[in-house]
Amino acid sequence: MDSGSVVIVGGTSGIGRELAVEFAGRGRSVVVTGRDPDRAAAVAREIGGATTGLSVDLAEPDAIGRALAGVGPVRELVIAAIERDVNHIASYDLDRARRLVTLKLVGYPEVVHTLRDRLAADASIVLFGGLAKERPYDGSTTVSTVNGGVSGLVRTLACELAPVRVNAIHPGIIGDSPYWMDKPLEAFVGRTPIGRLVTMREIVEATIFLLECGGMNGTDLFVDGGWLLR
Ligand SMILES: NC(=O)c1ccc[n+]([C@@H]2O[C@H](COP(=O)([O-])OP(=O)(O)OC[C@H]3O[C@@H](n4cnc5c(N)ncnc54)[C@H](OP(=O)(O)O)[C@@H]3O)[C@@H](O)[C@H]2O)c1
């Protein structure tokens, strides 16, 4: 019998949605969140099974506690939300940077703070960073910054929440994810020793490994096809 549900913050699109489909297919009770309540409810209906949708904006952290009031108990918590900016130091967009920094570096820990007393004894948490922390791309100034911050966050959370396990996953560019679907990717493909970009399926499998393997804790898992070697 399950000790809690699967909560996927940023579960209405991309990797978060793929994970929700996987867990719903296993018969688990799943909560997916996005910014808009109607969209979150519609995505939950599309996913089916025991999936519910709710809205929470991680860039407005004062409201996170209220938004998640009805959630729990929680066995798997995945925080994958992102509201990307395209930013450069030469033309620094303060408003966009402020939203993304707040979302990942204040919003992510505030979600964990809110749910901490509702985590099952065998709960596990995965936070999404990204390879941009090590390998910047054009416009990734804020993305690289916040994904670096996620590494520090998992270390302190793994200590503070023990024995609950907390890990970070850092995908390379995911070729079949909605964000990159309509963008030129040839230059990135040449940087991966496997000769292609990683897939959403591979990121789902790696996330489930981190959630389920009892020995994984406080780590940064790079899933990038070997891109880091170059
Ligand atoms: N895709 C990649 O190639 C890639 C590579 C490396 C790392 N990553 C990381 O993987 C994670 C998932 O990426 P993805 O490309 O799959 O994402 P995505 O398709 O862009 O989906 C983003 C999710 O975050 C939600 N969201 C957006 N703004 C939000 C806000 N202010 N507050 C709360 N939720 C918000 C969206 O919900 P609504 O739109 O419904 O509001 C959606 O569910 C991210 O953390 C990203 O940094 C992705």
Domain CATH code at residue 122:
3.40.50.720
Q: Quick one: pLDDT band at residue 149, thresholds 50, 70, 90?
A: very high
Q: How many domains does the chain have?
A: 1
- CA 41 to ligand 1 center in whole angstroms: 17
Residue nearest to atom 38 of ligand 1 (CA): 34
pLDDT for the residue numbered 219: 98
Q: Quick one: pLDDT band at residue 1, thresholds 50, 70, 90?
A: low
146 C-beta closer than 6 A to ligand 1: no
Q: Write down the pTM of the prediction.
A: 0.98
- CA 11 to ligand 1 center in whole angstroms: 8
**pLDDT at 158 > cutoff 90:** yes
- CA 1 to ligand 1 center in whole angstroms: 31
Instruction: Look up residue 155 and give its DSSP letter.
Output: H
- The rounded Cα 72 to chain-centroid distance in angstroms is 19
Asked whether the beta carbons of 171 and 87 are under 8 A apart, the reply is no
Distance CA 41, CA 25 (A): 18
Residues of the domain holding 190: 5-229
